Structure 1
Amino acid sequence: MQRRAQGTLFSSVRYAPEGKREDNMGAGHDHSLHQNNEGKVAIAAGLTGIFMVAEVVGGIISGSLALIADAGHMLTDFASLLLAWLAFRIGRRPADWKRTYGFDRFSILAAFVNGLSLFAIAAWIIYEAIKRLRDPHAIEGGLMLGIAVVGLIINIVAFYILTRGKKENLNIRAAALHVAGDLLGSVAAIVASIVILLTDWTPIDPILSVLVVLIILRSAWNVVRESGHILLEGAPEGFDRREVIAQLSALEGVHSIDHVHAWSVTQERPVVTMEVTPQANADANAVKHAIKDWLRREFNVDHATVEMRSPTS
Structure 2
Amino acid sequence: MGSFPDISTNIGEYVKDFVGFLDRSLEGFFQFIFFITSRMINSIDDFLVWLPWWLFILIIIGLGWYFKSIWSGLLFGVFIFLIGTFGLWEDMMTTIAIITFAVIICLIIGIPLGVWMAFSKGFSSVMRPLLDAMQTMPSFVYLIPAIFFFGLGNVSAIFATLIYALPPVIRLTELAIRGVDKEVVESALSFGSSKFQMLRKVQLPQAMPTIMTGVNQTTMMALAMVVIASMVGAKGLGEQVLVSINRIDIALGFEAGISIVFLAIIIDRITNGIAGKFQRVKGELE
Instruction: Give the TM-score normalised by structure 1.
Output: 0.26
**Larger strand proportion, structure 1 or 2?**
1
